[in-house]
Amino acid sequence: MEMNNCTHEKSEAALQLIESLTKRADEVQKDVLMEILRRNTETEYLGKFLHGRVDKVSFKLKVPVVNYEDIKPYIQRIANGDSSPIISAQPISELLTSSGTSGGQPKIMPSIPEELDRKTLLYNLLMPIMSQYISGLDKGKGMYLLFIKAEITTPSGLKARPVLTSYYKSSNFRNRPYDKFNVNTSPDETILCPDSRQSMFCQLLCGLIQKDEVLRVGAVFASAFLRAIKFLEEYWAELCDNIRSGHLSEWIDDPPCRKSVMRLLTANPRLADSIAEECRKQSWQGIITRLWTKTIYIDVIVTGSMAQYIPTLDYYSGGLPLVCTMYASSECYFGVNLKPLSKPSEVSYTLLPNMAYFEFLPVHKQNGTDDLDLHDSNGTENGKIREDELVDLVDVKVGHFYELVVTTYSGLYRYRVGDILFVTGFYNKAPQFQFVYRRNVVLSIDTDKTNEEDLLKAVTNAKKLLEQYDSLLSEYTSYADTSTIPGHYVLYWELITREPMEASVLENCCSVIEESLDSVYRRCRSKDKSIGPLEIRLVELGTFDLLMDYCLSQGSSVNQYKTPRCIKSQQTLNLLNSRVTATYWSQRCPSWTPYRPDLKARCQPN
Ligand code: AMP
């Protein structure tokens, strides 16, 4: 099939850009670093280390590798209204709330307007890459379910919001030039609707109305796509009624959203019947291709923690290819998948050298079972980084693990993102990476990232409730259960107790744990409803001894054995599940209010 000329030319240009950037990866990286330093060497932060110098050697020698806590005071000052050039010579235009947290609140990342152009550049590469493998995608539409989230205005007047909310609200997205490759079934007004239920209903309605034109479906993360399927299960009858009558449900009262859907909605009883016929069936296996019959692939991220959703997606799609197109974050966008049809377990991302200056901290992974593999030791001696160990983008070695460190155009210098990557090969001079895991994260269902410390703190709070019953929590571990939609956290508890506990006590424990988890968890659980109620499973006495025996039999060292705080392997889960004596669920949603920066925080340099 022939593409139209304009789309064809744009596509060619995009592919040529990838060639040129990857062939000159070393030069591009050098130029990026020089440009960032030239612009920002006089900022308060860089000035302290570089004293006006603009050269790579000084940068590598003098500028420290940092975590969020090191730069938090500077960012906090920006949020509080200090507009002097603290970390960026270009004024910070907004703050992006990350799903990583610090002190229970989202980390906030600075951004400048031109970052939107870098993001647009990366998005514009995705369909040209895809069309190298699948032709005719310009002949149909994509049903992409995209959402915005709550934002707040900080005392500085700057908005603080998630990176995708920022992008969808930007003129780069709203005024994007028409492109046959990127025709979406969701009108922008439905994506930009602040009420997530109305947004979801309207996007699914528009997707169903145009279902015969849809060639690909997707969302950003797998969890969001499955949430949409669950929503469809609950609302299909009402959606069909709307299509049958041509009348949009009255509860859709966001004016722009309503107006945009009304433009597409006309009474179509035949279409409504055909949808209802499929949805009414007992089994929803393969529902995606039964409704959107021309779908070629599902575009969702299923690498990293999202891999847990692959079996459920396969069930609903009848095994359609799952395509992971890009790798990005609030700090900056990183790269693209040049082989989008590769299996999820084989996906590698090629970092684009013009996005930021990338460095890599070697990671030495410890051996052990899957459950223990989460621990790593990386270039640190007593927690201190050996700065001279960091390597440049083009110098990473195939077969090695690294932690990603970025220097961005918007004020992050040698910042540890926390992602652990594995080098699989090179495309021209640009390395390709498998995403391995996020440092420290043990549990994740949606965008939540719970680490061992958070989990321990939450469990410690809950176990106080047991004291008055003369009961003791002797051991615990956890598991992200995604067999339900939405998924939920499961904790396995071994209790030493005199007599059986009342259900209400353990249900309260579930609630206290949820209250103690960070604000991203509580938002997902209470506002987005993308996480279900937390569950505690009591196990028989002696279960954790068996767990230890099992881990040792799988190669863990006796001396170094620590109870895995999160279980990944099915065999280990089977062992625990076979010893469960009772289960309890949280009976209420935890409290959540939108992120507010700590107004009292003051910068304490050094
Ligand atoms: P956030 O800071 O909330 O913007 O989330 C960014 C993080 O999400 C990254 O640092 C990764 O840990 C994760 N992430 C983003 N894209 C991918 C991907 N394609 N595969 C796996 N994890 C990803």
Is the pLDDT at 494 greater than 50? The verdict is yes
Banded model confidence at residue 383, pLDDT cuts 50, 70, 90? low
Q: Which parts of 132-193 fold into alpha helices (H)?
A: 163-169, 171-174, 188-191
Closest approach atom of ligand 1 to CA 349: 19
Burial of 575 (0-12, 13-18, 19+ CB in 10 A): middle
- The pLDDT of residue 333 is 98
On the question of pLDDT at 459 being above 70, the answer is: yes
Angle subtended at Cα 277 by Cα 188 and Cα 319, rounded to the nearest 5 degrees? 70
**How many secondary structure helices (H) and strands (E) does the chain include?**
20, 25
Would you call 30 helix, strand, or coil by DSSP?
Answer: helix
Indicate which residue's Cα is closest to atom 8 of ligand 1.
Answer: 329
pLDDT in tens, 361-378: 999 765 444 443 434 444
User: Is the CB of 329 inside a 6 Å radius of any atom of ligand 1?
Assistant: yes
How far apart (Å, rounded) are the C-alpha atoms in residues 519 and 514? 10
Task: Single out the residue of 24, 19, 39, 20 nearest to residue 408, CA to CA.
Answer: 39
DSSP line for 393-405? GGG--TT-EEEEE
- Is residue 335 lining ligand 1, measured as CB closer than 6 Å? no
- Residue 336 predicted with pLDDT over 90: yes
Nearest CA to ligand 1 atom 16: 327
| pLDDT for 85 beyond 70 | yes
Nearest CA to ligand 1 atom 19: 327
Evaluate: CB of 299 within 6 angstroms of ligand 1. Answer: no
pLDDT-derived band at 557, boundaries 50, 70, 90: confident
Q: Which of 165, 221, 435, 520 to mutate to test the pocket of ligand 1 (most atoms within 8 A of CB)?
A: 435
pLDDT tens-digit map of 387-399:
889 999 999 999 9
Whether 603 has a pLDDT exceeding 80, the answer reads: no
Top pLDDT among 8 and 170 is at 170
pLDDT at 366: 53
Q: Whose CA is nearest to atom 21 of ligand 1?
A: 304
Nearest CA to ligand 1 atom 9: 329
435 lines ligand 1 (CB under 6 A): yes
Q: Is the pLDDT of residue 578 over 50?
A: yes
* pLDDT tens string 91-128: 999 999 998 888 878 899 999 999 999 999 999 999 99
pLDDT surpasses 70 at 15: yes
pLDDT tens sequence across 149-184 = 989 999 999 999 999 999 999 999 999 999 988 999
pLDDT digits (tens, 9 = 90+) for 424-437: 999 999 999 999 99
Residues 179 and 7: beta-carbon distance below 8 Å: yes
Average pLDDT score over the chain: 92
Residues 6+ apart with CB under 8 A from 395: none
21-25, 211-215, 600-604: least confidently modelled range: 600-604
Q: Is 493 exposed, middle or buried (0-12, 13-18, 19+ CB in 10 A)?
A: buried
How much distance in Å is there from the Cα of 406 to the middle of ligand 1?
14
CA of 452 to the centre of ligand 1 (A): 19
261-304 pLDDT per residue, tens: 999 999 999 999 999 999 999 999 999 999 999 999 999 999 99
With tokens 């797998």, the residue in question is 222
**Is pLDDT of 450 > 80?**
yes
- Alpha carbon of 552 to ligand 1 centroid (Å): 32
Rounded CA gap, 350 and 129, in Å? 12
Is residue 316 within 8 Å of 285, Cβ to Cβ? yes
pLDDT of res. 393:
98
Please give the helix or strand (H or E) that residue 455 lies within, else none. helix 452-467
Measured by CA distance, the residue closest to atom 10 of ligand 1 is: 329
Contacts of 270 (CB under 8 A, 6+ apart): none
Tell me the sheet residues that pair with 480.
489
Ligand 1 site, residue 438, Cβ cutoff 6 A: yes
- Cβ neighbors of 547 (< 8 A, separation 6 or more) are 477, 563, 564, 572, 575, 576
Q: Mean pLDDT over residues 129-157, rounded?
A: 95
- Gyration radius of the chain's alpha carbons: 25
